[in-house]
Structure 1
Amino acid sequence: MDEAPIIVEPLADLTNYRQAKSHAGVLQAYTRRPVEDPKHVTAEEADRAEARAIQLANFVPFEGIPRSDAATLAQILQRLEQMETNINHRFNHIEEKIDNLEKKINNVEVIALKALNGTRGDGTWIEYELIPFTDGKLPSHQTYQVDTQPPYVYLRRATDIAKLQSAQLTQYLSSYGVAAAAMPTTVKAKRKELYRIIGVSADLLSAYDALSP
């Protein structure tokens, strides 16, 4: 045997929109019971519950919600839900644009840093700038200095790259987005690719290419 609905009083105790909407729906169902039925709920009581749901969804004073028939209130709630959906869609679109903008900014930053490194010879007099990895983090980030063991070596000079072993070169190139299928197979080829990624000048790259074993 079904029980009479619990009418929340005061309605201010309903602080969650979905909870208030569900409560209003239950009361609305009980308005269709005969008046003499002990479980009957008045339309006024159901409307007040609907108004509380609207108030929570629209952030307007509870007393400012116009009392109307249930059908009108249902239409208002439907419109509010559509507004919520549209707002969420717009926020998602904005977030997507922000992500794309951040990627473009990171790409420009990498290009600028590589160009700067190309003017610094072998990095002996003026050290190279660190180039961000594909995740946007620098080799100096905690991810690569604390969470990764052994930590990544800072590539401040051309000789820093020349000292890297094959496994270290592979580790660096992978972090710079070189896929396993495209990974150079020899140490010399790996070093050359890393020189290029760091931004070592073409002249210096040719010189190292000629001297490297």
Structure 2
Amino acid sequence: MREIIFDTETTGLDPKTGDRMVEIGCIEMVGRVETGRTFHAYFNPERDMPVEAERVHGLSAAFLATKPKFAESADELLAFLGDAPLVAHNAGFDFGFLNNELELAGREPISMERMVDTVALARKKHPGAKLSLDALCTRYGIDRSHRVKHGALLDAELLAQVYVELTGGRQIGLGLSPIDSGADSAAPKPGNMPWHRPPADKPRREPRPHVASPEELERHRAFIAGIADAIWTR
């Protein structure tokens, strides 16, 4: 299954009061594995940059003034997103800004049914624990030493690793049950991934026999008998 992990940077906290999205970073994953395809862009917000926001992401109004407006990159972004589920940390925030920009650009908003919120996944898996991206990186041993300031693409890369851990780790589907593995219902089920299915044109091989021969059993008995002071004879 194709999924997009994404993050945004903005001028503030609420698009309804005039705040705008100034950066977006997207990572493509297929079967919970990064493909290497990304989308990253800065946008001219056509407004000032509050000092508090600039402290978070380091993007100044002067830097963004030379960047394209969102509407100029909207079609390219939508083509990259396709119809894949969109994964974000505190996803309601990012969806709110993304859909606000799409509306301002005269595009249809993205359905909230496509939203996957890693905060909700983390809250379910680690109730009562800290749920920030930094805290989850620490929990899962993900290196974030290069994260001096927030950046949309960098945060999306970190989130992609966190998302894998939240949905079962690199061995998704190998647990005895969804409860045992800690995987969320959104995680792929065994048999649904390409590596669980043999090619249609490849004949099915019968299981190889693994029963010990009489000769092997005799050698085993001789070996056991030769062990001095075996604990099973005490």
Q: TM-score, normalised by structure 2?
A: 0.24
Which protein, 1 or 2, shows the higher relative CO under an 8 Å CA cutoff with sep ≥ 6?
2
Please tell me whether Structure 1 or Structure 2 has the larger radius of gyration of its CA atoms: 1
Q: Which has the higher helix share?
A: 1
